[in-house]
Chains A and B, each alone.
Chain A
Amino acid sequence: IAGITQAPTSQILAAGRRMTLRCTQDMRHNAMYWYRQDLGLGLRLIHYSNTAGTTGKGEVPDGYSVSRANTDDFPLTLASAVPSQTSVYFCASSEGPHQPQHFGDGTRLSIL
């Protein structure tokens, strides 16, 4: 089934550790995004990529990095996790920036 695959589905991580959240899409979409969703807040954009080889900062990029080496993959890395990064992380893709976004089912991350 075409769509977005995120891994892991959940993770508990000690503060200070490095963590990479994986995201793969098989729809050949140009644009990909990473969001975090916290209780009582709307989804907030962390980083985005309009096309392979390019990335940009979103609303809350601090503490996170991304890469877009190819069309399908868009990993999100926490270099040194902090408790405030406890959240549900969603990866999304779209054909272009003005098209509907397709979301994965999220990674639930707890930083202790």
Chain B
Amino acid sequence: KNQVEQSPQSLIILEGKNCTLQCNYTVSPFSNLRWYKQDTGRGPVSLTIMTFSENTKSNGRYTATLDADTKQSSLHITASQLSDSASYICVVSAEYGGATNKLIFGTGTLLAVQP
């Protein structure tokens, strides 16, 4: 069964600190892995998208890693800011050929950055 599991469910850190969020998946056939940020009351916003051959990708203070062998990904946030408080969602795309693919969403990690 295709699944995406994220940990921790929630996390509280102090402003300025770093943190790492985890994503494990059992999705086949794998196409790509995406991280989204969802602010409270808003829609998700894409942070990174990585294909099988990419093992790291950065977007400002956000750095995503991918280990396709162990089927794990992480999202590292450097020098956290209050505005980083949000839910971070890991999404894995399964490729079924042509224009058909399926996105499997994790339930997200809720991050709270405190002053």
Q: Could you tell me which A residues sit within 8 Å of B by CB distance?
A: 4, 40-45, 50, 90, 92, 96-98, 100-106
Residue in chain B with minimal CB distance to A56: B100
Complex CA distance for A92 and B89, rounded to whole angstroms: 15
Complex CA distance for A41 and B106, rounded to whole angstroms: 8
* Residues in A neighbouring B4, C-beta threshold 8 A: 42
Q: Min CB distance, A64 to chain B, in Å?
A: 18
* Residues in A neighbouring B42, C-beta threshold 8 A: 105-106
Complex CA distance for A98 and B49, rounded to whole angstroms: 10
| Partner among A42, A45, A98, A105 whose Cβ is within 8 Å of the Cβ of B89 | A42
Contact status of A104 and B46, CB under 8 A, knowing A42-B4, A42-B107, A96-B99: no
Chain B contacts with A in 81-115, Cβ cutoff 8 A = 89, 93, 99-108
**Interface 1/0s, chain B 68-84, versus A by CB < 8 A?**
00000000000000000
Q: Min CB distance, A49 to chain B, in Å?
A: 11
Complex CA distance for A4 and B42, rounded to whole angstroms: 12
Complex CA distance for A101 and B102, rounded to whole angstroms: 12
Q: Min CB distance, A30 to chain B, in Å?
A: 9
- Does B60 have its Cβ within 8 Å of any Cβ on chain A? no
Complex CA distance for A59 and B105, rounded to whole angstroms: 12
Contact status of A100 and B49, CB under 8 A, knowing A42-B108, A43-B105: yes
Complex CA distance for A41 and B87, rounded to whole angstroms: 13
* Residues in A neighbouring B108, C-beta threshold 8 A: 42
Most buried by A among B93, B99, B100, B101: B99
Q: A42-B4, A101-B103 are in contact. List 7 more A-B contacts (CB 8 A).
A: A40-B107, A42-B106, A42-B108, A45-B103, A50-B99, A92-B43, A96-B99
Residue in chain B with minimal CB distance to A101: B46
